[in-house]
Amino acid sequence: MSDKRLKAVHRGGPLSRRRHRLLAAWAADCAEHVLSLFSEKYPHDERPRRAIETARAWTRDEVTVGEARAAALEAHAAARDAADAAAQAVARAAGHCVATAHMAGHATRAAAYAVQAVQASGNERDDVMTADREREWQHERLSEEIRGLVPTIGECESDSG
């Protein structure tokens, strides 16, 4: 992890449990915002939705980090199973949002994959959804308490998993 601010207190870092949970909730918001791009293509595959729900449950202390990690693996399996690029990115966003329970740095990956999903959806010319609007939407949902932990709009980069 390159950003020391995202290292949890229980791992010897400065990130409080409260801020860690706020990051996970924000990451879940980012993934959920684009979930329809997956659900429209794969309506019977609930793995990304379950990952988002598990992330939210973790923020309420209702599931363990181990359960969150298992949900992340399932969401990433959904990404591998999907043929549609936008759906793959949504499933990756869901996987990273729930993986935030394990390592807070996954939150920015969830946001980056949500933007990538919008780009891959072909809706860039649509008035409803563009990558820039998605980034703005994400930024608007950052609470003041965690705003400084998330890179400025456009700085988050996705990777292959």
At 47-64, the pLDDT tens digits run: 999 999 999 999 999 999
Does residue 156 register a pLDDT over 70?
no
As a whole number of angstroms, the distance between CA 66 and CA 132 comes to: 34
Q: Which of 109, 85, 111 is nearest to 31 (CA)?
A: 111
- Work out the end-to-end distance of the chain between its first and last CA atoms, rounded to an integer number of angstroms: 15
pLDDT at 42 over 50: yes
CA dihedral 114, 64, 43, 25 (to 10 degrees): -30
Residue 16 clears pLDDT 60, i.e. is over it: yes
pTM, rounded to two decimals: 0.88
Q: What is the mean pLDDT of residues 134-153?
A: 84
What number of other Cβ atoms are within 10 A of residue 24's Cβ? 25
pLDDT in the model for residue 8: 82
What's the whole-number mean pLDDT along residues 7-21?
87
pLDDT at 99 (0 to 100):
96
